[in-house]
């Protein structure tokens, strides 16, 4: 599997609403509520395998989406970003997608719109800004603010 389309999107990410999974009976739930992260073993360890290459199980929150929880969203402007990785470090939901220290964008399946990424963005103007969920990203980018001049 590889990254396709919008940032970090794979065939398994956010494919169902959280809680919309199949409700199996007592005989089919896992013993001891032990949830497996992946459908197969990872011999070299999950830490060395990129998310898009991991065989996520249906128990993994990676396969669920919580996009509907969000009312405002961060929009990312590639033209201004300096790939400092501040947003990647601070995001509480690992929803900043970055590969080889290059920022790719937002995981909108898991971002809850907290705005921390915008707070920590050091560029001028910011490379991430919050917009209402209903606004298209293209429109948001078209109306991006100009660089602020230093006060004399």
Query: In angstroms, rounded to a whole number, what is the distance separating the alpha carbons of residues 7 and 77?
Result: 13
Site string for other proteins, 21-60 (x = CB under 8 A): --xxxxx-x-xxxxxxxx--xxx-xx------------x-
| Rg of the chain, C-alpha, whole Å | 18
Compare residues 37 and 77 and give the one whose CB is closer to other proteins: 37
Please state the closest distance from residue 43 (CB atom) to other proteins, in A.
6
Compare residues 6 and 60 and give the one whose CB is closer to other proteins: 60
DSSP run (H or E) holding 142: helix 137-142
Q: Determine contact, residues 39/48, Cβ cutoff 8 Å.
A: no
Does residue 145 touch other proteins according to CB under 8 A?
no
Binding positions for other proteins, 55-94, rule CB under 8 A: 59
Give residues with Cβ within 8 angstroms of 30, minimum separation 6. 36, 59
Please name which of 55, 51, 13, 64 lies closest in space to residue 36, comparing C-alpha atoms. Answer: 55
Which listed residue (19, 101, 142, 145) binds other proteins by CB under 8 A? 19
Please state the closest distance from residue 124 (CB atom) to other proteins, in A.
41
Please state the closest distance from residue 49 (CB atom) to other proteins, in A.
11
Compare residues 11 and 46 and give the one whose CB is closer to other proteins: 46
Q: Determine contact, residues 131/75, Cβ cutoff 8 Å.
A: yes
SS3 99: strand
Please state the closest distance from residue 59 (CB atom) to other proteins, in A.
7
Q: Determine contact, residues 64/16, Cβ cutoff 8 Å.
A: yes
Which residues contact other proteins (rule: CB under 8 A)?
19, 23-27, 29, 31-38, 41-43, 45-46, 59
């Amino acid at each position: 599997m590889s990254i396709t389309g919008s940032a970090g999107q794979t065939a398994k990410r956010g494919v169902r609403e959280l809680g919309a999974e199949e409700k199996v009976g007592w005989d089919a739930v896992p013993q001891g509520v032990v949830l497996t992260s992946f459908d197969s073993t990872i011999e070299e360890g999950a830490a060395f395998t990129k998310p898009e290459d991991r065989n996520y199980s249906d128990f993994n929150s990676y396969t669920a989406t919580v996009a509907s929880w969000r009312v405002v969203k961060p929009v990312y402007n590639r033209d201004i970003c300096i790939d400092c990785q501040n947003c990647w470090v601070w995001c509480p939901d690992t929803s900043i997608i970055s590969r080889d220290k290059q920022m790719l964008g937002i995981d909108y399946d898991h971002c809850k719109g907290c705005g921390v990424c915008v707070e920590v963005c050091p560029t001028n103007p910011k490379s991430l800004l919050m917009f209402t969920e209903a606004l298209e990203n293209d429109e948001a980018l078209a109306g991006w603010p100009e660089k602020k001049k230093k006060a004399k």
